[in-house]
């Protein structure tokens, strides 16, 4: 995994990071999905870029994958915390 180690974090008290990883991984059985190391790293790196104070991490919202939402946005969605309400849904 990447080194995210300055140990300093941005103030995110009124924010929530939504990550929708449903499109990642491969189905290995009818009910079991496995993610690759690179997919797991992508999720972890996204979280660390969002959380870390170091602006070189450059967190960005990515439609259908991740979104940083503040409490006002969450209220607008009726406090529903499912990821598709915040990151969006893939086109059919």
Mean pLDDT of 11-16: 88
Total domains in the chain come to 1
Q: Which of 15-19, 45-49, 52-56 has the lowest mean pLDDT?
A: 52-56
pLDDT at 39 over 50: yes
Tell if the pTM clears 0.85, that is, is over it: no
For residues 18 and 87, is the Cβ–Cβ distance under 8 A? Answer: yes
Is residue 92, in this structure, part of any structural domain at all?
A: no
* DSSP one-letter code for 9: B
Give the structural domain span for 22. 15-87
d(CA 3, CA 20): 23
At 56, is the pLDDT very low, low, confident or very high (cuts 50, 70, 90)? low
Is residue 8, in this structure, part of any structural domain at all?
A: no
Is residue 22, in this structure, part of any structural domain at all?
A: yes
Q: With CA atoms as reference, report the closest residue to 19 among 57, 48, 54.
A: 48
């Amino acid at each position: 995994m990447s080194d995210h180690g300055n140990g300093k974090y941005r103030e995110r008290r009124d924010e929530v990071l939504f990550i929708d990883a449903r499109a990642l991984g491969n189905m290995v059985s009818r009910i079991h999905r496995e993610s690759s190391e690179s997919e797991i790293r992508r999720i972890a790196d996204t979280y660390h870029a969002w959380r870390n104070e170091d602006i070189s991490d450059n967190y960005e919202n990515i439609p259908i994958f991740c979104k940083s939402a503040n409490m006002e946005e969450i209220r607008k969605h009726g406090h529903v915390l499912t990821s598709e309400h915040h990151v969006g849904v893939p086109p059919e």
